[in-house]
Every structure is written in structure tokens, then in C-alpha cells.
Amino acid sequence: MPAGSTSVAPRPESAPWRADLGPAGLLRMNQPTLQRDRQGVDYGEQQNVQKLPAAIRDEQRGGLVTIKPFSLWTLVISGIVFFVAAFFLARQGADFTATNVDRGNPPPAQSTRQAVQAGTASASVVPSTVADANAPLVVHLAMKNMKFSPATIEIKKGDTVEWKNDDITPHTATSATFDSGSIASDAVWRHTFKDAGNFPYTCTFHPEMKGTVVVK
């Protein structure tokens, strides 16, 4: 049977594996060959009849590529919807890498607060309401390879900075107004900045390690 023709003709029992049967014919090839040997009523055709309308629809569409059970139409529309959603979310300035501010080569004096808030916003597909733009945050800072990373951070009054020791040697975060004492390897230390100002600090064990917390 030529490919693409409608599939109402009886199944050729003698040649169940013919490849030129078209999509509907391929459906019929799923029938077990034993049916050929069945006596009495041949239920094979009834099965074919149930499948046929869909098969006919497929054939009439010219056998377009699609992922069953979704129709091509569904896929196209959802693709456009996702694209547009991502486009507008990105325009909002969502920083998809936000909350944790320590990087290999972080930009100096980055506005971590904005980054963290944008990060929160981008986490969900549906933009959720960011509760309060001034809610206090915990900003993360790493001590890695004998450096504070990032060396300078900007936060708001009331925010907390969390120092994490990613080195194998102990470190401190010490300034005129705060002193962490010895922070062991893998341990953290937090300090909440209640006052605005510039807070330069250092590690008392390694004086060449220097950082600054800028509190606005």
C-alpha cells in the first residue's frame, strides 16, 4: 500500500511487516501475528477502528513532528509563553546568582543588598512579592586562600554579615568595634551592624588580610 493513503483497507495478513504502510499501517503492525491464526471473529479490526481516528488526524496533518500526548500547537504556545516570561523576568534585573556574595573574583564594593533581593525575586517563576525591601539580610563573606572575599561589602544598617572560614588555618575578623576571636576552619561567625559607617577590619593572625564593611 502506498504511504500516506487512508487506512480503511484490510490488513494484509500475509505480510505483517511491510514498512510502506504509512503511520496508520505502522499502528497495525503492533498487532501480534497470532491474530492471523485466530479463529472466529477477528477483533483485530475493531482495535484498528478505535485507533484509526487519531491516526487519520495525524495523517491529515501530514504527519507533523510532535511529542505525544502534546500537540504541536500546545508545544508552540507554551514555548512562546516561557520565552516571554523569562524575557520580562530578566528585564527586572534579576541576578540569578545572587544570595551568596563570595566569588573567585568578585567586583569591588558590589551592592549586595540589591543582588540578594533580586536573587530572591528570581527564585520562583511567578514573581512573588518581596515582603519588605528593608528587611534585614544575612550577607555571606568567605575567608579563602588567606583573603576576605569580597574584600569590601556594602550592607544596610541592621544587616548581618556572616564570615565563613573556608581555609584550613584559623582566622579572625577584628576591628575597633567587633572581634570574632579565633574562627576555626569550616566555622562561621556573624555580626549585626546596627550603626552606619565604614568598618575596616583585619585578621589578627594574618595582618595582611584586610577587609571593609560599608554600612549605609
Partner 1 sequence: MTKPNMNTNRGKPSMRKIIALTITTAVLAAFTTIHAQTAPAAAPPNDAQIAQIVLTADSVDVDYGNLAVKKTKNAEVKAFAETMIRDHTAVNNKAAALAKKLGMTPEASDTSKSLKSDGDKEMAKLKAMHGAEFDKAYIDNEVTYHTSVIGALNTVLLPNAKNAELKALLESGKPIFESHLEHAKTLQNSLNK
What are the residues binding partner 1 (CB under 8 A)?
145-147, 167-170, 185, 204-209
What is the smallest separation between the CB atom of 167 and partner 1, expressed in angstroms? 8
Report the half-sphere exposure of 51 (CA within 13 A, side-chain side): 18
CB 182 within 8 A of CB 172: yes
Using the minimum distance from each CB to partner 1, give the nearer residue, 132 or 208: 208
CB 185 within 8 A of CB 196: no
What is the smallest separation between the CB atom of 111 and partner 1, expressed in angstroms? 28
- Cα separations in angstroms, 55 against 9, 14, 30, 196: 14, 23, 14, 72
What is the smallest separation between the CB atom of 178 and partner 1, expressed in angstroms? 19
Using the minimum distance from each CB to partner 1, give the nearer residue, 144 or 157: 144
Using the minimum distance from each CB to partner 1, give the nearer residue, 92 or 169: 169
Grid coordinates given for 95: 541576578
What is the smallest separation between the CB atom of 185 and partner 1, expressed in angstroms? 7
Using the minimum distance from each CB to partner 1, give the nearer residue, 59 or 167: 167
CB 110 within 8 A of CB 101: yes
Using the minimum distance from each CB to partner 1, give the nearer residue, 137 or 183: 183
What is the smallest separation between the CB atom of 62 and partner 1, expressed in angstroms? 55
Q: Around Cβ 65, how many Cβ atoms within 10 Å?
A: 6
